[in-house]
Structure 1
Amino acid sequence: MKLSILLLEAGRQMHFKLHVTGLIFCFCYVVSYFTNKYVLSVLKFTYPTLFQGWQTFIGGLLLLVSGKLGWVDINVIPRSAALSWLPGSFLFIGIIYAGSRSLSRLPIPFFFTLHNASEVVKCFIVKLTQRERVPWMKMFSVSLLLMSATNLPFYDPQFDSSGYMWAFAHLLCVGGYRVFQTNFNSTHLSDLEQQFINYLFSVLLLAFAAHPTGDLYGALEFPFLLSPEFQSGCCASALMGFFLLLATVKLNSDLPFEHCRAWVVLAKVFSTCISSLVFDTEINNPSLCCVVFSHVGDALLVYSERTSEKR
């Protein structure tokens, strides 16, 4: 009897710890996107090579220091494994660069509606390369994501063609990155080591691109460059990006994949709901329906993947 009580209590404590991990992930997710949105849209710092270069530099530096201090497990990365991961790093740069461009022009609910459509790209690539049969519920959820993303530009009360163009590039890179990460054959790289290569390669490439794109000169003329709001916003965005990485790795190590996806969906829903209270968001009924259907499709996709794995 006492043993069963102890086991029940241990199970409750473990369940509670998993919920705490998920809630910490949600907090980091929401705050990370909000700080990025604040710098990009409110302060209008639209120089992504410098902004993302700063974030990846701080993230890589903190990851390196954490590895040296033994806080995270990062081993010496073999050159062959690093070179084989470079296609993923190229896609990662496309994700953060195009994502910054689109997030600076689109409201957070619209950005996530288009971001969710990256699952359509992933499903399409997997279907072409692996010829797998797609379950009807997964097909329905993917169709819902596609329908929401394609209809949103027609109902957006503040349509920005450039924002949607960059969002389209962003979702293509996200879908391609997820497929590459899933099919990556090297067993030498952990998630943190993959991200460290992404950070290092991004810093080098974005630093070289800052001059040709004109971002360097534009940033020097930025009116809020020395303001406390801008400097604190940049520091917060870099730190929260790093904390989000650690929270994501912790979530992936503690929970099954479908449970992790459920927490990601919940974090996006939280971000969408709270963003209208923090940022000025102009939204009408048709565009709101696109946002809602997109999150419903995202949740159904997680459910369909969970049921298909149980069979």
Structure 2
Amino acid sequence: MQWKRHVTGLAFSVVFIVSYFTNKFVLSVLKFTYPTLFQGWQTFIGAVLLLVFGKLGWVEMSRITRSAALSWLPGSFLFVGNIYAGSRALSRIDIPYFFTLQNSSHVVGYIIIKVVYREQNAQWLKLIGIFLMLLSAINLPLCDPQFEYSGYLWAVCHLLCVGAYRVFQVHYKSSNLSDFEQQCVNYLFSVFLLALAAHPTGDLTGALEFPSLQSHTFHCGCSASALLGFLLLLATVKLKRGFSLEHFGVWMFMSKVSAMFLSPLIFHMDFNALSLSCVVVSHVGEALLLYSERDSQL
């Protein structure tokens, strides 16, 4: 029934917002800025839960062959870059600005598709949306009253990985891995790679000296972030299977806008008229992009 589909979308939005707020709380308020350990913990719990759910038959997962896993490794590299750089950026940048920069991953995806896959000329509405998102991302560092170079540098790395991963996921046809199986490979590879990087990056030493390591709030925040990350995966896959990609994009857009409206109520944020205009223009561009994709399907 139609109402059940909307319930799925609302559940996705709630988990999406709470997940980002929890991550932001751990990274910025508690200042646990050790992404190899933070993301390694999240992906480890995600991998364990996904394997358990698959074993119990609660999610559809078949045996992943070695060849399929190896062929998916480029996607897993991009996934690790996405979550690692995303954590670095989110710890230093307010959520509305983070989403504004993340939107420009659509620009990255468009360029890759244009160059690699020789896509035909896009609709003018799509081009306007992409231009607005790029323009906002370029001007935001000049308008942000709390500009921090390292945060924006990590945000650029994040959006590059997000855009490339999105293209790879859509155009990769060499195996029959399902969404859950792709994510399982991502999780396992992430745990392995982040565990190797924990000591060389100094995260392991820093975490052992972290003042709030024995704090009940810290333990609850980290546990909630890992569980919410897995629930977001379940909600995302269910939403994609129940809706078209265009409708999924609309729910994602609504979730981000809701998170941006609510975040100043939860977290301290410095802003001005110019920075807010960048946020608004970027999401107007994303709305135009979504509308153009919907119009092309009619």
- The TM-score range, normalised by the shorter chain, is over 0.9
User: What residue is the counterpart of 2:108 in the other structure?
Assistant: 121
User: What residue is the counterpart of 1:167 in the other structure?
Assistant: 155
For residue 121 of structure 2, give the secondary structure of its aligned residue in structure 1: coil
Offset at residue 280 of structure 1 (A): 0.3
User: What residue is the counterpart of 2:213 in the other structure?
Assistant: 225
- Larger Cα-atom Rg: 1
Matched, 1:42 2:25: no
Which amino acid in the other structure matches residue 122 of structure 2? V
State how far apart, in whole Å, the 2-side matches of 1:73 and 1:238 are: 21
State how far apart, in whole Å, the 1-side matches of 2:121 and 2:16 are: 33
Matched, 1:265 2:260: no
**TM-score after normalising by structure 1:** 0.95
State how far apart, in whole Å, the 1-side matches of 2:282 and 2:61 are: 37
**Aligned structure 1 segments of 4 or more residues deviating by more than 6 angstroms:** none
Q: Deviations over 1:34-66 (max 9, x none)?
A: 000000000000000000000000000000000
State how far apart, in whole Å, the 1-side matches of 2:123 and 2:103 are: 19
State how far apart, in whole Å, the 1-side matches of 2:117 and 2:189 are: 30
Q: Deviations over 1:103-158 (max 9, x none)?
A: 00000000000000000000011111222211100000000100111000000001
State how far apart, in whole Å, the 2-side matches of 1:91 and 1:167 are: 14
Offset at residue 278 of structure 1 (A): 0.3
Q: 2:4 aligns with which of 17, 21, 26?
A: 17
Matched, 1:306 2:277: no
Matched, 1:63 2:50: yes
State how far apart, in whole Å, the 2-side matches of 1:253 and 1:114 are: 28
RMSD (Å), alpha carbons? 0.6
Structure 2 gap ranges (5+): none
Which amino acid in the other structure matches residue 16 of structure 2? Y
State how far apart, in whole Å, the 1-side matches of 2:8 and 2:209 are: 42
Offset at residue 162 of structure 1 (A): 0.3
Which amino acid in the other structure matches residue 40 of structure 1? L
State how far apart, in whole Å, the 1-side matches of 2:245 and 2:11 are: 17
Q: Deviations over 1:61-116 (max 9, x none)?
A: 00000011111011000111111100000000000000000000000000000000
Query: What percentage of residue pairs aligned between the two structures are identical?
Result: 63
User: What residue is the counterpart of 1:195 in the other structure?
Assistant: 183
User: What residue is the counterpart of 2:164 in the other structure?
Assistant: 176
Q: 2:79 aligns with which of 63, 86, 92?
A: 92
Q: 1:81 aligns with which of 45, 51, 68?
A: 68
Q: 2:129 aligns with which of 134, 141, 154?
A: 141
Offset at residue 296 of structure 1 (A): 1.1
Structure 1 gap ranges (5+): 1-13
For residue 71 of structure 1, give the secondary structure of its aligned residue in structure 2: coil
State how far apart, in whole Å, the 2-side matches of 1:200 and 1:299 are: 35
State how far apart, in whole Å, the 2-side matches of 1:245 and 1:153 are: 31
State how far apart, in whole Å, the 2-side matches of 1:94 and 1:271 are: 23
Which amino acid in the other structure matches residue 207 of structure 1? A
Offset at residue 188 of structure 1 (A): 1.8
**TM-score after normalising by structure 2:** 0.99
State how far apart, in whole Å, the 2-side matches of 1:18 and 1:72 are: 19
State how far apart, in whole Å, the 1-side matches of 2:231 and 2:34 are: 23
